[in-house]
Amino acid sequence: MPGRDRRELAAIFAGGVVGALLRVALAQTHAGVAPGWPWVTFAENILGTFLLGYFATRLQERLPLSAYRRPLLGTGFCGAFTTFSTMQVELLTMLDAHRYGLAIAYAASSVIVGYGSVHLATLYVRRVRTIA
Amino acid sequence: MSLPVWIAVGVLGGIGALGRFFVDGIVAARAGRDFPLGTLVVNVSGATLLGLLVGLGFTGNRLLLAGTATLGSYTTFSTWMLETQRLVEDGELALAGANVLVSLVVGVGAAALGRYVGARV
- What pLDDT, on the 0 to 100 scale, is given for residue A130? 60
- More confident call, B97 vs A30: B97
CA distances, A121 to each of A45, A49, A78, B31, B89 (Å):
14, 9, 14, 29, 14
Q: Residue B43: which of B14, B6, B83, B3 has the closest Cα? A: B83
Chain B hits for A57, Cβ within 8 Å: none
One-letter amino acid for residue A109 of the chain: S
If you average pLDDT over residues A65-81, what whole number do you get?
91
- What pLDDT, on the 0 to 100 scale, is given for residue A1? 44
| Complex ipTM | 0.95
**Other CB atoms within 10 A of residue A65 CB:** 8
Chain A hits for B104, Cβ within 8 Å: 91, 107, 111
Residue A6 near chain B (CB below 8 Å): no
Residue A85 near chain B (CB below 8 Å): yes
Q: What is the pLDDT of residues B35-82, one digit of tens each?
A: 999 999 999 999 999 999 999 999 999 999 999 999 999 999 999 999
Judged against a pLDDT cut of 80, whether residue A132 lies above it is answered with no
- What pLDDT, on the 0 to 100 scale, is given for residue A34? 63
- More confident call, A66 vs B91: B91
Judged against a pLDDT cut of 80, whether residue A18 lies above it is answered with yes
CB-based contact A79 B76, cutoff 8 Å: yes
What is the distance in angstroms between the Cα of A20 and the nearest Cα belonging to chain B? 5
Q: Residue B10: which of B58, B50, B69, B67 has the closest Cα? A: B69
DSSP codes, A31-67: TTSSSSS-HHHHHHHHHHHHHHHHHHHHHHHTSPP-T
- What pLDDT, on the 0 to 100 scale, is given for residue B55? 97
CA dist., res. B11 & res. B104, Å (int): 28
Judged against a pLDDT cut of 90, whether residue A63 lies above it is answered with no
Kindly give the residue spans of alpha helices, DSSP state H, lying in chain B: 3-31, 37-55, 60-63, 72-74, 78-89, 93-119
CB-based contact A28 B1, cutoff 8 Å: yes
